[in-house]
Every structure is written in structure tokens, then in C-alpha cells.
A = this chain, B = another copy of it.
Amino acid sequence: MKIEHLISQIKKKKSFLCVGLDTDLDKVPQHLLSEDDPIFSFNKAIIDATCEYCVAYKPNIAFYEAYGLNGWKSLERTMDYLNVEHPDIFTIADAKRGDIGNTSFRYAKAFFETLNFDSITVAPYMGRDSVEPFLEFKDKHTILLALTSNKGAFDFQTLDVEGKQLYKSVLRTSQGYKNAENLMYVIGATKASFLKEVREIVPESFLLVPGVGAQGGNLQEVCKYGMAKNIGLLVNSSRGILYASQGEDFAEKAGLKAKTIQEEMEVELDRLT
């Protein structure tokens, strides 16, 4: 997907919500477990109930890998469903991959071609030749981990590296990679003030922001410090939507929750214009 198309979808739907499809069979409503492919059944119901209110879906690949071959089948079916029924919705493989060049290229093919995702999250630790193979794909996007929303983020990401924090070095250095226009960044929302410093380095890049809601971030703060001229934000919610109810009304409740977030986002977008 071209970035302009993502931006036009955000404006049309008045939403920059990304729904994280972290589907966990331990939390899926009981009545789905007797179905052939309960993960896909759950995802389909969630998608049908929330697609009006969001512009992106983000399956975290770990949740599918954990179920082996069956998990991969559910992921393929979910992606087929999204690609056929909702081609206007941006898809993110939350895979946090990264390897030496030749191998990163294979991951890129797996997610961008075999599964036809629009984007993938990638870890920066191995540097340029682990990231550039992803950047080669036209109209596909590489979302580099910069500052994550977990506690462990402070182990290395915020260490002082030659006068600046490591995550800033990741932002700056990666902007020099070939095809850097295909880069987006993961920036956790645990301290929204970080976003201000991020915007000094990458004023227009899209940021994928996890950690709003469940992990303590605040949408208004994120928008205040993080919104760019082209909006430049995708804010993710996973558990808060998926498991809004664990009863038979799970999809309806998920839809209501997504709608509530969309409405808050609409207020923020109106401020921009």
C-alpha cells in the first residue's frame, strides 16, 4: 500500500486506530473452541465488528507460531480474508524479525509476498544490512523498533551512546539507509514526552504507537507530541478491544470499544485541521 493511501483512509475514517490481532485460545470465548479453526473464526468476527473504525490490523506472529502449523494456517486465512475483503486496510506483521542480508530478504519475501502484508516490524540491533533487504520492496513498509513500551526498553534503548540515547541513534542512522522512505518506527507511548524528541529527528515518519490504554499511555498526550502534518500516527490497541467481553457478545463489545477509540481520535484529528 502506498503511504498516501493510508493517509487518505485515516482522513476518510477519521481514525488512526490499529487493532492488534493477538489471538489467544485461552481468552477466546468458549463457544468458538469447538469450531474447525477457532483462531480464524475469532479474527473474522473481530474484523467484521471493527473494520469500520480502524485503518490497520496487526497480528503478532508469536501468537500464531505458538500453535505450529495450525497457527500458520489461521494466519494465512486471516490475511486472505483481509486482502480480499478489506484491501484498503493496512496490514502489519508484528514479527520483530532481523537477520543478515540474505536471510532478512527471505523474511521479507515470507511476509511481503507469501502472506502479502503491507508492513513488518523489524529489530534494529544487527544494523544496515539486516534492515535494507526489507526496504527494497516497493510500497511495503518496514517498521523499525526504536523505543518499545516494555520495561526492558530501558536496559539498552535509552543508554547514552556518544551523547544521545541509543533509540535516537537508531532513528538517525536508519534515516541514512537506502530506501529510508519506506521506514516507519515503533515508539512506545509510556512517556509521551519522548515523542517530542522523536519528532525532532523524524518529523514526518509514521510512528506505530503501542501501549496506549492497557500499558498506561494517553491518547491526547500521544497526539499532542507525536502528530505530524500528514498525521503520521498509528495507535495500536490489542487486548482492550479483543477481550472487551469474553462472552457470546465479544464481537459486538469489541466493535463498541473500537468505536469509542475512533471517536476520541476524531476529536484529535479535528484539532489538526
Contacts and interface: CB of A to CB of B under 8 A. Distances in A.
Given A130-B150, A149-B100, A106 B63 contact: yes
A201 interface: no
A199 interface: no
B150 A169 contact: no
Contact of A159 (B97, B99, B157, B166): B166
Contact of A156 (B68, B76, B125, B155): B125
A37 interface: no
Nearest to A148: B126
A162 interface: yes
Contacts of A66: 106-107, 109-110, 114
Nearest to A154: B127
A122 B231 CA distance: 34
A73 B69 CA distance: 7
Interface residues of A, number: 55
B125 A125 contact: yes
A126 B150 contact: yes
Interface string A1-20: 00000000000000000000
A210 B72 CA distance: 29
Interface in A114-166: 114-115, 123-131, 145, 148-157, 159-162, 166
A96 B107 CA distance: 12
Interface of A: 22, 60, 62-63, 65-69, 72-73, 76, 94, 96-101, 103-104, 106-107, 109-110, 114-115, 123-131, 145, 148-157, 159-162, 166, 169-170, 173
The 7 closest A-B pairs by CB, nearest first: A127-B152, A127-B155, A66-B106, A62-B106, A129-B152, A128-B152, A65-B110
